[in-house]
Amino acid sequence: MSAEQVHRTRHEIEVAAPADVVYGIISDAVAWPLYFPPNVHVQRLESDGRRERLRMWATANDRITSWTSRRELDPEARRIEFRQERSAAPVTSMGGTWIVEPCDAQRSRLALLHDFTVRDDAADDVTWVERATDTNSRAELGSLKELAERWTRLSGQVLSFEDSVRVDGPAEKVYEFLYRVRDWPDLVPHVSRLEVTEDEPGVQTMSMDTRTADGSAHTTTSVRVCFPDAGRIVYKQTSTPALMSAHTGEWRVVADASGVTVTSRHDVILREENIRRVLGENAGVADAHRYLREALGRNSTVTLNLAKAYAEK
């Protein structure tokens, strides 16, 4: 650590779920974008089961930040130590610990500890980091509590699927179409409005109005992280329609000897309490799955086919 002052925070929450369930959620960092509101994307760079290296993108005080962290997992003690190896300014160092302690067989307590330093100990920057840490920690702990306490039902509320199209054209053209979202209102029929900012190359924040087949309109906001060398664009909706409590996804472009496969993936957690309000009094989880599979898949397939036409012309 540098000579700057070390600032420390601690956040705790009690969860009506077994300690092993809580530990299982925090140990699976790649799933955090679907589970935790601040997290946009997590890429596992290295792992041996006990030690791992992660590249992470998350919101902090309405700003998108990115860093690389190392984590040491101790499932027996239910502790995870983490340390950023490269922090985002104004942070010069950041680390901490997740600690899960059983209260009894069905209840546990989770503590999240942070320590950090800030460049030159600038008071405004310290306040900014403290606010971001507090906001994100509370959001993560609140989401974790909600997830863990309905863990036995969660698998039925998660929907994941993919749609793919073959393209007889260059992968670069397919990726170009998917990357240039600011042009979609003129090119994609179900997109009526789209505003995008890209303050950092490859990290896009967008607000989009879309129409579904029944004529209803939805406004969503998303963050997209673009990987042109890998032919991938991953995204997270930061505001979602009423049927979804979380929605992440990916556009993937893969070239082979005979052409290109472009794939759209969706991962969704249902907002179960809104199903009847949106789909009718007799609707259930299966109806919500069908509705979202059809609506999201239809729009994605339209976009995939437009990307195909763009690359093949």
Q: Is the dihedral of CA 88, 84, 91, 112 positive or negative?
A: positive
d(CA 57, CA 93): 16
Beta pairing partners, 256: 259
Where residue 289 falls among pLDDT bands split at 50, 70, 90? very high
Give the pTM: 0.91
Q: Is residue 178 a contact partner of residue 307, using CB atoms and an 8 Å limit?
A: yes
Nearest partner of 292 among 307, 306, 278, judged by Cα: 278
Phi and psi based region of residue 95 (left: phi greater than 0; alpha: psi -120 to 50; beta: remaining): beta
Q: What is the pLDDT of residue 90?
A: 92
Pick from 137-146, 148-157, 207-216 the range whose average pLDDT is largest: 137-146
pLDDT in tens, 224-269: 999 999 999 999 999 888 999 999 999 999 999 999 999 999 999 9
d(CA 188, CA 176): 14
Nearest partner of 308 among 168, 190, 176, judged by Cα: 168
Q: Is residue 41 a contact partner of residue 166, using CB atoms and an 8 Å limit?
A: no
pLDDT in tens, 160-212: 999 999 999 999 999 999 999 999 999 999 999 999 999 999 999 999 998 76
Nearest partner of 299 among 211, 196, 198, 169, judged by Cα: 211
